[in-house]
Amino acid sequence: MAVREIRIYPDPILKEVCAEVEADDHEVDALIQDLVDTMIDAGHSVGVAAPQIGVCKRVVVVDVSNSKLGRENNHGLLTMVNPEIIRREGNKTMREGCMSVPDYTGNVDRAESIVVQFNDRDGNRQVINASDFEAVAIQHELDHLDGLLFLDRVSSLKTDIFRRKK
């Protein structure tokens, strides 16, 4: 469909809690395709959430299969509608970046493994176990649906935020 412009913090839509997608929402397939196209076009992205392209709906796409951190352990392209984490285990601190916060990265504590349920692009209910980098990427994207950025999850703004090298 289309590569969409990424909204940059402090765009107010990035702080909104997104609405669930209704079963009869016929625009969701086009939204998913725009998210996939935008993620691929970025070249380095492993996920995009709908509010990052200006749509406040509970839809994300995640694909860590082309990342060196996720290459060995992934589910391929995940198209997630109304996703919900139903179990979290362990703890992992990783450096995260975000297309909506392009100048900074930060150390964020996340669950090491998760179980997430969602509807896929075809409307089928899915439940998957994700771990390591894929679990972190999913948690990061799902935060966007609740108006949270990785900046909201760092322990210390003084010690855990880093300016990106240009």
Tell whether 158 is covered by a domain: yes
- pLDDT-derived band at 165, boundaries 50, 70, 90: confident
CATH code of the domain covering residue 151: 3.90.45.10
Catalytic residues: 141
Q: Domains in the chain: how many in total?
A: 1
**Does residue 3 lie in a domain region?**
no
* Structural domain contains residue 114: yes
CB-CB contact of 96 with 47 (8 Å): no
111 in any annotated domain? yes
The contacts of residue 158 (CB under 8 Å, 6+ apart) are none
Q: Which amino acid is at 67?
A: S
Please report the pLDDT score of residue 166 as a whole number: 73
Residue count of the chain: 166
pLDDT in tens, 111-143: 999 999 999 999 999 999 999 999 999 999 999
CA distance 88 to 111: 6
Residue 105 falls inside a structural domain: yes
Residue 159 belongs to domain spanning: 12-163
Residue 4: inside a domain, yes or no?
no
Q: Is the residue at 5 inside a domain?
A: no
Residues 59 and 28: their CA atoms lie apart, in Å, by 8
